[in-house]
Amino acid sequence: MIASEILPQEFNVAAYFVDRNVAEGRGGRPAFFYEDRVLTYGDVQDLANRTGNALLELGVQPEDRVWMLCLDAPEFLGTFWGAIKIGAVPIPTNTVMRTADYVYFLRDSRAKVAVVSAPLLAEAGPALGESPYLKHVLVAGGPAGSYRSWEDRIARASSTLTAAPTSRDDAAFWLYSSGSTGFPKGAVHLHHDMVVCQETYAKQVLGIRESDRVYSAAKLFFAYGLGNAGYFPMGVGAQSILYPHRPTPDSVFEMLSRHRATLFFGIPTLYASMLAAKDAERYDLSSLRLCVSAGEALPDELYKRWHERYGVEIIDGIGTTEICHIFISNRPGATRPGATGQPVPGYEAIVVDDDARPVPQGEIGNLRVKGDSIMAYYWNKHDKTKETLFGPWIQTGDKYYQDADGYFWYAGRADDMLKVGGIWVSPIEVENTLIKHPAVLEAAVVGREDGDRLVKPQAFVVLKDPAGAAPGLAEELKGFVKDKIAPYKYPRWIEFVTELPKTSTGKIQRYKLRT
């Protein structure tokens, strides 16, 4: 599906997803359930308008970046849609990163304004003074300290706002994608991208409808969560359940049961944890009509166990930050357990060799995808853009093969990146952290499957003193990594070795460690 076929040239996506619901008579209808509050579509429009006006008062201009470090809370909704509505560019950011990561995002994006949820200030606070571009900080959902209160600013702002006359091809928002060796890359998405995902995957695969009530364990700052819990339900006037805390099996069961969710978006690690949870039978999941998995390949055993227990399909699929949402997926009633599925209507997928020639059916190669929600480019990363985009096609970095029935099967990564709990992990980042420990000489990190066939990091460590592997050192190293970088990246297993396999030029041969 091509944007020009469904959208006018002058188009503002905030008006499409926010204002249209009110114009079509859904202003008083519940849109989001947040803690003990119900936000109507009229409330969302009010938040967006007031936040947009507050940003204008701070001097934000069209195409200026607004950095967001927000929980799944009203400040996310107000800032994301309000910034877009005035023609600015919001940048939702991962809320479980470290201070050094936030310094990079602020400097790289050159954001003029930051909106931060108060509970995240402990990690973000030290980064806010490290950007020469940042002029204003608004803090929401708690004490603002020396910064300005988001709530106070929007309370004083006007609730009336006309959408900026943007183009369907103007930049609307960025999402940062992890890099295999370098720094994260800002994927620039346009005003039409979310509509394309809505009209293809949400409507034609999920069959989303106004009566649906959605819960996504993936947060709004993820491309996956932004669609699931954000613009997918808003696209049809449905309802979304926001949970600002870390999703645990018990909390997810509670959200699904209490709010009578009909659509549940999870990741394989979470489904495995929920199946292993004790006393899960006390929760009523009978309202669910469909479950979705993405972020990492769903093992067929997890699919079968979930279906046997709850009588609901999990449709697995693959999406990327660069493509905005899912572009290959299984279909309700036509799921092939273990496979990623078939291209979503509106997208094309091919498997090619290293010379870009299509490979024979059943042969593993590089996955390329074509569709109109693909990013425009990587911000400030010209070479990476050229390495990734090939005309209308994007090379995802995934290895796949296609079977005789047109289903695509995941066969690993073209680089050494790992998907852990649905989030990319660079083995190099973990290795570089490990060698900062005084006992470590060298380290190599690879993926290893756990009991549920889900990939987690495993580290092979060479010590400076081969006799220095004292009891408890492995646990000490795990804690060391957790303290230095995002905790989900820590190695679940550590094996001490005397040397690492290397090429003649000294490059670590991780593939030998995987085998």
What DSSP element (H or E) covers 149? strand 148-149
What is the Cβ-side half-sphere exposure of residue 265, based on CA atoms within 13 angstroms? Answer: 35
Pairing label, strands 326-329, 314-319: antiparallel
Which residues make Cβ contacts (< 8 Å) with residue 250, sequence separation at least 6?
A: 277
Give mean pLDDT, residues 453-474: 88
Average confidence score pLDDT of the chain: 94
Please, is 413 exposed, middle or buried when counting C-beta atoms within 10 Å of its C-beta (0-12, 13-18, 19+)?
A: middle
In angstroms, the CA 113 to CA 106 distance is 10
Q: What is the pLDDT of residues 486-501, one digit of tens each?
A: 999 999 999 999 988 8
Pairing label, strands 418-420, 423-425: antiparallel
The two tokens of residue 290 are 């469909």
The two tokens of residue 459 are 């580290």
Give mean pLDDT, residues 148-175: 98
Architecture of the structural domain at 193-413? 3-Layer(aba) Sandwich (3.40)
Q: What is the pLDDT at residue 426?
A: 80
Polymer length in residues for the chain: 515
134-138, 447-451, 465-469: lowest mean pLDDT where? 465-469
Quote the percentage of the chain above a pLDDT of 90. 80
Torsion sign, CA atoms 358, 360, 365, 371: positive
Please, is 242 exposed, middle or buried when counting C-beta atoms within 10 Å of its C-beta (0-12, 13-18, 19+)?
A: buried
Are 42 and 27 in contact by the 8 Å Cβ rule? The answer is yes
DSSP string, 41-76: HHHHHHHHHHHHHHHHHTT--TT-EEEEE--SSHHH
Q: What is the pLDDT at residue 421?
A: 84
Position with higher pLDDT, 257 vs 2: 257
Of the pLDDT bands very low, low, confident and very high (cuts 50, 70, 90), residue 467 is confident
Q: Which fold has domain 7-168?
A: Rossmann fold (3.40.50)
Q: Hey, which CATH number is domain 426-514, 3.40.50.920, 3.30.300.30, 3.40.50.1000, 3.40.50.1100?
A: 3.30.300.30
Q: Matching CATH topology for 7-168 and 193-413?
A: yes
In angstroms, the CA 332 to CA 366 distance is 27
Model confidence at 423: pLDDT above 90: no
> Cα dist. 344→191, 336, 374 in Å?
20, 15, 14
Highest mean pLDDT among 74-78, 143-147, 182-186: 74-78
Position with higher pLDDT, 504 vs 205: 205
Position with higher pLDDT, 89 vs 419: 89
Domains of the chain: which residue ranges? 7-168, 193-413, 426-514
In angstroms, the CA 360 to CA 402 distance is 9
Q: What is the pLDDT at residue 212?
A: 98
In angstroms, the CA 388 to CA 397 distance is 8
> Of 336, 321, 324, 326, which Cα lies nearest the Cα of 292?
326
Q: What is the pLDDT of residues 322-340, one digit of tens each?
A: 999 999 999 999 999 999 9
